[in-house]
Structure 1
């Protein structure tokens, strides 16, 4: 067989959905998973269970793969450089991925290329946090560990020096940022191939609850065309300047005076792009695969006027399958995507997608289904 083998490091839901996107293309898919019970490991045929932090494990996994890619950004940069030295094709490469792995490096590089960000700097201790506050607009501030954070973990909102101690207990460098007075959060999703072709999806609004993405609306309602184009150009510029190959999500703050500030980067398929499975001509997962294989990229345009994705979080109601009867009967157009995870309070266990011409109706349908599956409503 001449079809390529794609190896994905990480066995979570992003790997699961990337695997699904490769099936119609005949792509042979391998997964390096932490456990045999991880989301993607439950559905893929070729699974290696091992520790991505162990270089020998990575080297063994890479044998026979035409390209290595990722569903998270936690693989040590030195290990990725070692794989490249072995002749392994790594996409995105370590020079690019470092900017998603290390927030301090990311902020410094974005400043170099003129990308607007919140004011920030690395801080040494709580007293240094207070000095940074004096340099900016004062408290409150946002503190982030430069590595390892996700879904609100490794992030603290501090109102005084006494609140800052927890951020330093992890023993990793801490980044202080001004707390931006934003009107909403946006995400610009783009995909770039090795030969420089790039596509941009519609800019979406991302609604966060307790630091976790709750709802994504595509396209972002009421976003002026000029601001939307600016966000897409900004994301494409970041992808080019950082040498990204594959999918890049640029999370943005929109301010009341029309500015866009970069909050976070993710160099992999992203929660803000899950809507594309049902709502775009080519999903983020299919385009990520096309990019890492250096195939022509697919059409990113939306299929309908509005698409809404709502995350399904675990609650006290563990039997989500029992809710299918109600949700599917109530809304035959509803799309349900479950990740095969055990249900735990607050854990992302799936998402639902709705679409149509009436935004209020589309939002209500998505919200109802997500809440019913979680068990927070029963009618």
Structure 2
């Protein structure tokens, strides 16, 4: 067989859905998972259980793989450089991926490129936070650990020097902390693009991402009432970032739409991303299929939407551990509903799946998605 083997580091839901996208293509998929119970490990046929922080484990896993890619950004950068030095294709490569791993590195590089970002700098202690706040017009300011944060973890909004002292643990542990101005934004957007090694790139419609308690709750594609020129600017910004950083694969650029109309870069993710889950059912080619095409240097697929509106709503765990009985109501009420579950144990607040809906009437499409997500979680019963 000449079909390639894609090795994916990380066994979460992103790996699970990427594996699914590769099945029709005949792509052979190998997984490095932390545990046999991880989301993707439950469905993939070739699973290696091991620690992605251990170079020997990574080397052994990479043997027999044609390319290595990721479901998260937590593999040490020096390990990826070692794999590359041994001739193992790593996509995205460490020189690109470090900008998603380290927020300080990302901000410095984007600033050098003239990419609009919130005002920021690395701070050393709570007193330095207070000085930064004075520089940007006062509190509140946002503090972020430069590495390891996600879904609101490692991120704090502090409204005084006293509150900055309350989150002093990262400073005491010697972890670099990035301080940013708190942007007066209208909403959060995301521009998802995919780039291949030979430089072909595609851009999906810019979406609106609605957050609840720091976690993505609902994504609307395309972003409602976003002026065409602003949407094009956001796509061009994401494509420029992908090209300048040498990204190979999927890149999600999380954005603020500021009250004054500016588009500012908030975060980068160099892998399939929650803001792109709508593409599974709502685009001609999903983010997962295009990520695989990119890392294998195949021609990229059509990113255009299938319907005027697509809405993705995350399903979070609630007080009811068994969601399967809720399928009867959800599927009978809305035969067009698409349910995607991740095989995870249900825990309160944990992402365990998502639903997508699509159609011509945006309020109806939003209502259908939110109803299904809330019913599956158990927050509504009708």
Fold match, TM over 0.5?
yes
Supply the RMSD in Å over aligned alpha carbons: 0.6
Q: Which runs of 5+ in 1 are unaligned?
A: none
Partner of residue 314, structure 1: 317
Shift of 1:166: 4.5
Partner of residue 283, structure 1: 286
* 1:361 matches 2:364: yes
TM-score normalised by structure 1 residue count = 0.99
Work out the CA distance in 2 between the residues paired with 1:193 and 1:245: 5
Shift of 1:164: 1.3
Shift of 1:319: 1.2
* 1:82 matches 2:76: no
Partner of residue 68, structure 2: 68
The structure 2 residue matched to 1:233, chosen from 231, 236, 242, is: 236
Deviations 1:282-330 (A, max 9, x none): 0000000000000000000000000000000001011100100000000
Partner of residue 113, structure 2: 113
Work out the CA distance in 2 between the residues paired with 1:339 and 1:39: 6
SS at match of 1:41: coil
Work out the CA distance in 2 between the residues paired with 1:167 and 1:115: 29
Deviations 1:106-137 (A, max 9, x none): 00000000100000000000000000011112
Deviations 1:235-264 (A, max 9, x none): 000000000000000000001221000000
Which deviates more, 162-171 or 121-130?
A: 162-171
CA contact (8 A) 1:154 1:167 kept: no
Work out the CA distance in 2 between the residues paired with 1:31 and 1:2: 19
* 1:292 matches 2:303: no
The structure 2 residue matched to 1:178, chosen from 178, 181, 192, is: 181
Mapping for residues 96-107 of structure 1, pairs under 5 Å: 96-107=96-107
TM-score normalised by structure 2 residue count = 0.99
Work out the CA distance in 2 between the residues paired with 1:316 and 1:169: 32
Q: Which runs of 5+ in 2 are unaligned?
A: none
Deviations 1:53-96 (A, max 9, x none): 00000000000000000000010000000000111000000000
CA contact (8 A) 1:14 1:71 kept: yes
Work out the CA distance in 2 between the residues paired with 1:56 and 1:138: 48
SS at match of 1:321: coil
The structure 1 residue matched to 2:246, chosen from 225, 243, 246, is: 243
Work out the CA distance in 1 between the residues paired with 2:145 and 2:137: 21
Partner of residue 29, structure 1: 29
Partner of residue 132, structure 2: 132
Partner of residue 346, structure 2: 343
SS at match of 2:187: strand
SS at match of 1:269: coil
CA contact (8 A) 1:207 1:215 kept: yes
Work out the CA distance in 2 between the residues paired with 1:168 and 1:69: 35
Shift of 1:168: 3.5
Shift of 1:331: 0.1
Partner of residue 257, structure 2: 254
Partner of residue 18, structure 1: 18
Shift of 1:162: 1.1
Query: Aligned residues, how many?
Result: 379
Shift of 1:234: 0.1
Work out the CA distance in 1 between the residues paired with 2:138 and 2:293: 46
Work out the CA distance in 2 between the residues paired with 1:166 and 1:72: 29
SS at match of 1:303: coil
The structure 2 residue matched to 1:326, chosen from 320, 326, 329, is: 329
Taking a change above 3 Å as real, the CA distance of residues 56 and 369 of structure 1, as seen in their structure-2 partners, is same
